Amino acid sequence: MLHLKQVSFGYSKVKVLDSVNFKVNIGENLSIIGESGSGKSTLLKLIYGEYDLEEGEVFWKDTQILGPKYNLVVGYDFMKYVTQEFDLMPFTTVEENIGKFLSRFYLKKRKERIDELVKVVELEAYAKTKVKNLSGGQKQRVALARALAKQPEILLLDEPFSHIDNFKKQSLRRSIFKYLKKHNITCIVATHDKNDVLGFADEMLVLHDKKIIAKDSPQNLYKNPKLPLIASFFGEFNSIDNSIYYACQMKIVEHSEFKAIVKQSYFNGNSWLIEAEYNSESIFIEHHKALSNGLSIDFEIIE
């Protein structure tokens, strides 16, 4: 398992992470979420051994992960890290990039492995294209495939689908995360996108103010978000009488003691998000159709 013990770190005297402790079991998918600047990428870099820790320890199984003070070359063979920068070889093809770390000793095996990974990231049509001629999203897919090439035991992904268009994103996510589960590869994903988390993460960890403020399954955190910060990750919500209710828990009815005035309707795909004024504050209600601004509505909360 991966084990972080009392990890603290700052780039200057100011701490970015303070006494962070957690474990991830082998084969598990853990998502790291938190506002921009909360330290998600920093945490991945510390797990990778990119920096020396000020305090604390990181272990993968029995191996202690050490930083540049102890390792001439950063990183370990059992771990791959896909950064937001990709770090590819622009003047060689997709196939060559993916195969970069694969032995040329068994050429047939090498070719089969490259073909398999080209399929996983759905880049069959671009296998022979030079990376410099690819779009940002295609480059991101090459970086993912290259990280998988030598079958790491643990994979660190920083916003892994951020450059990929919505047409491809869903199927690519399923393909990658299915591959990782099938091969029992432990995976840690820093993300802003709830879709990277909901159907795939075994657990999610929430960073705030240098600390872990929650670590639980997506289902439990969704059902019982405890803090507005956590609820906001999942969608539009309302804080009413110190409780958190998602917009989908609010229902417009004929008569109720709760009354509000419609301010705006936003098209949301399979529903509309109604913004309304209640007790001089904005609330959000999911509804099947748009409503006129200024309309008086009654609503209920479905627990």
Ligand X SMILES: Nc1ncnc2c1ncn2[C@@H]1O[C@H](COP(=O)(O)OP(=O)(O)OP(=O)(O)O)[C@@H](O)[C@H]1O
CA distance 203 to 39: 18
Binding to ligand X (CB under 6 A) within 151-190 occurs at: 190
Residue span 7-26 as binding mask against ligand X, x where in contact by CB under 6 A, dash where not: ----x----x----------
- Exactly one of 9, 30, 31, 42 binds ligand X (CB under 6 A); which one? 42
Which range touches ligand X (CB under 6 A), out of 40-48, 67-75, 112-120, 218-226? 40-48
Which range touches ligand X (CB under 6 A), out of 30-38, 71-79, 242-250, 270-278? 30-38
Residue number with CB closer to ligand X (147 or 189):
189
Q: Name the 3-class secondary structure at 207.
A: strand
- List the one residue out of 218, 272, 216, 223 whose CA is nearest residue 246: 223
The enclosing H or E element of 154 equals strand 154-158
Say if residues 149 and 117 touch (Cβ distance below 8 Å): yes
- Exactly one of 31, 41, 138, 238 binds ligand X (CB under 6 A); which one? 41
Task: State the minimum distance, in angstroms, from the CB of residue 12 to ligand X.
Answer: 7
Binding to ligand X (CB under 6 A) within 183-222 occurs at: 190
CA distance 209 to 183: 35
Say what angle helices 136-149 and 107-120 make with each other, to 10 degrees: 130
| Cβ-based neighbours of 13, under 8 Å, separated by 6 or more | none
CA distance 220 to 213: 14
- Exactly one of 24, 39, 161, 283 binds ligand X (CB under 6 A); which one? 39
Which range touches ligand X (CB under 6 A), out of 32-40, 144-152, 225-233, 242-250? 32-40
- Exactly one of 20, 34, 82, 120 binds ligand X (CB under 6 A); which one? 34
Q: 186-190 and 154-158: which strand pairing?
A: parallel
Residue number with CB closer to ligand X (47 or 118):
47
Residues that bind ligand X (CB under 6 A): 11, 16, 34, 36-42, 190
